[in-house]
Structure 1
Amino acid sequence: MSAVTTRPPEPVQEERAAVLAPISWRWPILYGVLALLALVFFTLLPETGQSTTYQLSRGGDAWSIPNFAVPSTLSNWVLVAIMAALTAYVTYATMNRRSVGKWVPILFGIAFVLTFLTWVGAGRGTVIPITTLLSGALALSVPLVFGALAGVVCERSGIINIAIEGQLLSGAFLAAVIGSLTSSAYLGMIAAPLAGALVGVLLAFFAVRYWVDQIIVGVVLNVLVIGVTSFLFSTVLTENKATWNASQRLPDLPIPLLSEIPIIGPVLFRQTLLVYLMYAVVIFLQIWVFRSRWGLRMRAVGEHPKAADTVGIKVNRTRVVNTILGGAIAGLGGAFFTVGSGLAFGKEMSAGQGYIALAAMILGKWNPTGAVAAALLFGFSKNLGNVLSTIGSTVPSEFLLMLPYAVTIFAVAGLVGRVRAPASENIPYIK
């Protein structure tokens, strides 16, 4: 009897290919469309022979950089070539199923913005103030960053925090009142998180204790805060403004040496204590959410609360604590509207920034650093509209203000990447 030998099956190339996920061409298409727009509208259509003047220094800078002019058409051709090269690189990486580094979208975005600014300032005799543009963008992003981080903390534990708008407004109100009563902007800043935490307590109470729909509770809390603060503003703050609503402002605290670095120094290191706290909160949350035991438990509660409860994690207590903490973070961001900007409190002065912060959180995919990047995009777009209006540009500022919202809609629709919320948000846990 002859022995029958069997060979192990060899992998077939077609079977291997069938296992691989289909190639997504969304990023090469997006890069290509943006590069084409920059080529047609910002490079080919404008008249040749014009120049654009940039300003990198402001009055009082230790190292003064003189204004310089660049040839508009030639500069844009170079920038478009960079965008085209990056598009080709992204296309090649996509074809070979390779990931690209974060430097690619950053460099592409810088090139696209510079192309737009060079086109805007071409032949108009105006100066594009780069440092002013960046510092203003950072300032306008402060409440958005705090609000987006508050949303990350709450929603990672399974609580949808629609009440960010109310938390920002209540923080601005209490910061103004305490700052005015004590004549100390710092005490006003310390009081602001308490107001936001109180709104967080109400949200946690109704959402966790009585299982009320979290979206409805958030909307009701926003209306409640707007009503209460408007009533107190009309009756108390307005009647005795010197006592209850005198403007106080946090002083700038330039960091030695770092604040003298051209461009970067005035933008990042010549700020108030509130902005420095924002830096610290971003770093802390990025480590805390993804590199700590508490962060692991928080994410487990937001994704699969029953499994978390099985291993001994107290689901509802975790949600309550994180909701209150998120409210405190948003309240701290609300201090920017009053003591952070040197303004007295005004009715509904948050002006929908809480909802914009929610959009930034979604665009950032519930990640602290991603939420910060999205908030900075929103702040930059808003300040870019302000700067263009100041220098007399013909570009309507409304188009620039509309851009972040359009990007957010595309992100939620999945056109610029997968966006998935925590699985158990807005689902009460009933043990």
Structure 2
Amino acid sequence: MKKKLLQGSLKKLLVFFGFVFLLLMGEGSSFAEEVRGVTNDTIKIGIIIDQTGPAAFVGIPYTEAVRNYFRYVNEQGGISGRKVSVLVEDDRYTIPGSIAAFKKLMYKDSALALMFLGGTGQAMALFSQVEKEKVPVMVGSLAEKMVNPFRRYIFNPGASYEDQIKVIFDYVMTDLRAKNPRIAVVYPDLEFGKTNMVAARATSHSYGIKLAGEIVVGLAALDTTSQVLQMKKTGADYVILVEDVGSAISILRDSRKFGFTPQFIGFYYACDEAVLRGARKAAEGYVAAHTLSSWYDDTPGMAKLREITLKYKPGSEKPYRNKFYTQGWQNGMILAEGMKRAGKDLNNDTFVTALETLKNFDTGGLSAPVTYTSTNHKAGNESKFYKGDLDKEVLIPFTGWRRPLK
């Protein structure tokens, strides 16, 4: 009798532990399914970028490139068997717009990672939420403060704005061998512009020269007469345009009208073929610096970019897509590589750890090689120079990738 009771109790105990085991297994499975932005067959990536505001000239081509790149990835089988879903939110280049977009992508759409995060000011306004939610971000702003001090979940895709300012000064002082140059900087009164003015002052000081002028011109300015006359008064022989395409065109046109003929050097956003098309003869001699290659450049990565893009949109080669299209494609390449390396166990932290294993990652010449470590999320510090060909309306590279000398 006692033996039967003991056997019955043992059976009940085994059933109980079996039930607990299944329960725990179920909870583990449920947890795996609840990884933000990742399911058995889908990975959600969000983009916060201007589509309808003053920076739409950046946002529209960037978004097109990201969508095309991940469309291609999905057609090749996706990443570890999962298809990538790209979700886009228009922040209209405003801080409130970026905050609203972040909330939607995090709390409604549950994205694994984010791209761009608006401009410099918008990104800075979101940093505390990024850290709280532990969301990996590939920022659009290249300000040094995006990655310095180090932030675990923030990555940048190339040389910082400060690096690019330094390279421009290196070009004037070393390549052109300018003696006591009078350098003026034109910039918008935004976080992006102020960041670069700080860098310009510091770099000029390192070369023992004082800036000839600091002139404020807003984005998409149509009339820059007063600012051009102000520049002319400074006697500047070099003018760095820390501006968007529209303002750069206005400055070049108005300068020609008033006989002001310094060497204009476009910075990042002004390194665009649209400046040549819009300014025409006023862009004669125009040079510019950028961290990315142009649509028509002869590199393996750009050849593949063109092939895939034109497969999806035949006959759309001209007007050439600008470098913000290249930026979206290159950013997508970097994130895709990180997700591949994370494998099936993809989540926000394995994604970050995987990205930190990239060393001299080859983008096929879209940019300089990309390297991240567990203490440095800045992809590199290299830029190159372009000169305008007005007849062909293209920007031709005339240097290789360059690091700052100082």
Query: Whose RCO is larger (CA < 8 A, sep 6+)?
Result: 1
Instruction: Please state which structure has a larger fraction of its residues in helix.
Output: 1
TM-score (norm 1): 0.25
Instruction: Please state which structure has a larger fraction of its residues in strand.
Output: 2
